[in-house]
């Protein structure tokens, strides 16, 4: 079954790190530069995230993420660089188009922020199993029912996609055209969607029964199949991250007071 989760087991250092640690990293990586309010802080954290992604062997997977947002960022750079109010210093003249220093710097700030946030999120989701993350939340008091709903998405969607493929094959085998003009596609819609809906309903019922016979709704306190192991390394990293956030808060407060 094809997974829709972006996580991939690479047996890397970050894979073995506790999921809580990586969540904290994401939060700290976004908060610290925002609190310090300096572009160089952003650059430093971006470099750190890229380094972490590289040692986890998932740097290549960020390419689609960055290129999609890159297009949006590019339009921001162009528009701000040319038209931002307060643009006075021309740095680049391309025919009739003039780019101004002020606008470019401003859009650079936005770009750094966006890339920093994206990379920090990538560090978390590319190296952490979704179920580990949810279990971590449940352990902290998050509702197990909602947790299940979240995890099950990662199972149900690929399953539905697979069913959809089989159904398409089955109907094409009966001579139905599924490719071609809009009319052909509209005509194909009902024979394809009805079995998908019906089988999803049946699956849902069966899933509910399967959960219930295993005590999903039991009122007793639940234990975990996978014991979470928080190592000393995890604890040290957590402390360092919290310290970094606190230090940047202190820095900001000092700026206000001073």
Partner 1 sequence: MMGRLEIRDLHFSYTENEEILKGIDLVLDQQSTAIIGQNGAGKTTFVKLLKGLLQPTSGKIVYNGTDLSSMTVAQIAKHIGMVFQNPNDQIFKNSVIDEVMFGPMQVGMSKEEAKVHAMDALEMVGMEKKCKVNPYDLGLSERKLISIAAILAMDPEVIIFDEPTIAQDYAGKKCIGEIVEHLRNQGKLVLTIIHDMDFVAEHFDRAVVFAKGGVLLDGNPEKVFSRAEILEKAFLEQPNVTRLCHALGYEETFLTTDDFVEYKKGQ
Contact 6, 125 (CB under 8 A): yes
The DSSP-derived string for 93-119 is EETTEEEEHHHHHHHHHHHHHHHHHHH
- Give the footprint of partner 1 on residues 127-186 (CB under 8 A): 163, 166-167, 169-177
Q: How far is the CB of 156 from partner 1 (least distance, A)?
A: 17
Q: How far is the CB of 174 from partner 1 (least distance, A)?
A: 4
Q: How far, in Å, CA of 178 to CA of 172, rounded?
A: 7
Q: Could you say whether residue 255 binds partner 1 (CB under 8 A)? A: no
Q: At what angle do helices 39-55 and 19-36 cross, to 10 degrees?
A: 160
Minimum CB distance to partner 1 smaller for 69 or for 171 = 171
3-state SS string over 225-250?
Answer: CCCCCCCHHHHHHHHHHHHHHHHHHH
- Give the footprint of partner 1 on residues 53-92 (CB under 8 A): none
Minimum CB distance to partner 1 smaller for 193 or for 250 = 193
Minimum CB distance to partner 1 smaller for 190 or for 257 = 190
Give the number of residues in contact with partner 1, rule: CB under 8 A.
19
Q: How far is the CB of 224 from partner 1 (least distance, A)?
A: 33
Q: How far is the CB of 184 from partner 1 (least distance, A)?
A: 10
Q: How far is the CB of 206 from partner 1 (least distance, A)?
A: 12
Q: How far, in Å, CA of 157 to CA of 4, rounded?
A: 8
**Residue 57: left (phi > 0), alpha (psi -120 to 50), or beta?**
left
Minimum CB distance to partner 1 smaller for 174 or for 221 = 174
Contact 90, 64 (CB under 8 A): no
Minimum CB distance to partner 1 smaller for 145 or for 205 = 205
Minimum CB distance to partner 1 smaller for 2 or for 221 = 2
- Give the footprint of partner 1 on residues 193-252 (CB under 8 A): 194-195, 198-199, 202
Q: How far, in Å, CA of 9 to CA of 145, rounded?
A: 26
CA 11 to chain centroid, in Å, comes to 20
Q: How far, in Å, CA of 94 to CA of 102, rounded?
A: 17
Q: How far is the CB of 149 from partner 1 (least distance, A)?
A: 25
Interface with partner 1 by CB under 8 A: which residues? 163, 166-167, 169-177, 190-191, 194-195, 198-199, 202
């Amino acid at each position: 079954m094809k997974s829709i989760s972006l996580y991939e087991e690479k047996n890397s250092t970050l894979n073995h790190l506790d999921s809580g640690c990586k969540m904290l990293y994401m939060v700290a990586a976004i908060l610290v530069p925002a609190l310090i309010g300096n572009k160089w802080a952003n650059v430093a954290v971006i470099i750190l995230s890229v380094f972490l992604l590289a040692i986890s062997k998932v740097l290549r997977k960020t390419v689609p993420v960055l290129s999609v947002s890159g297009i949006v960022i590019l339009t921001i750079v162009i528009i701000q660089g040319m038209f931002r109010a307060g643009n006075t210093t021309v740095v680049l003249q391309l025919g009739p188009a003039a780019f101004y220093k002020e606008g470019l710097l401003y859009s650079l700030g936005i770009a750094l922020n966006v890339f920093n946030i994206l990379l920090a999120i990538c560090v978390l989701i590319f190296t952490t199993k979704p179920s580990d993350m949810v279990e971590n939340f449940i352990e902290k008091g998050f509702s197990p029912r909602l947790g299940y709903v979240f995890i099950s998405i990662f199972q149900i969607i690929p399953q539905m996609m697979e069913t959809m493929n089989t159904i398409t094959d089955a109907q094409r085998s009966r001579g139905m055209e599924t490719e071609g003009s809009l009319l052909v596609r509209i005509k194909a819609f009902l024979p394809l969607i009805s079995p998908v809906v019906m089988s999803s309903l049946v699956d849902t019922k069966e899933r509910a029964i399967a959960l219930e016979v295993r005590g999903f709704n039991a009122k007793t306190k639940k234990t975990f199949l996978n014991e979470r192991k928080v190592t000393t390394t995890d604890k040290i990293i957590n402390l360092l991250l919290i310290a970094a956030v606190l230090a940047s808060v202190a820095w900001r407060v000092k700026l206000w007071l001073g």
